[in-house]
Chains A and B, each alone.
Chain A
Amino acid sequence: NAGVTQTPKFQVLKTGQSMTLQCAQDMNHEYMSWYRQDPGMGLRLIHYSVGAGITDQGEVPNGYNVSRSTTEDFPLRLLSAAPSQTSVYFCASSYSITGAATYEQYFGPGTRLTVT
Chain B
Amino acid sequence: AQKVTQAQTEISVVEKEDVTLDCVYETRDTTYYLFWYKQPPSGELVFLIRRNSFDEQNEISGRYSWNFQKSTSSFNFTITASQVVDSAVYFCALSEWGNTGKLIFGQGTTLQVKP
With contacts A42-B106, A42-B108, A101-B52 known, is A33 near B45, CB below 8 A? no
Q: Which of A32, A35, A48, A105 contacts B47 (CB 8 A)?
A: A105
What is the interface residue range for chain A against chain B?
A: 35 or more
Residues of B within 8 A of A100 (CB): 98
Q: Which residue of the partner chain B has the closest CB to A9?
A: B43
Interface assignment of A64: CB less than 8 Å from any CB of chain B: no
Please give 18 more A-B residue pairs, beta carbons under 8 A apart, in addition to A95-B100, A101-B98, A102-B32. A31-B100, A40-B107, A42-B6, A42-B91, A42-B105, A43-B93, A44-B105, A45-B102, A45-B103, A56-B101, A88-B43, A92-B103, A94-B100, A98-B98, A101-B33, A102-B95, A102-B99, A104-B35
A-B contact pairs, 11 of them (CB 8 A): A32-B101, A33-B102, A42-B91, A56-B101, A92-B45, A92-B103, A94-B101, A102-B32, A102-B50, A102-B52, A106-B47
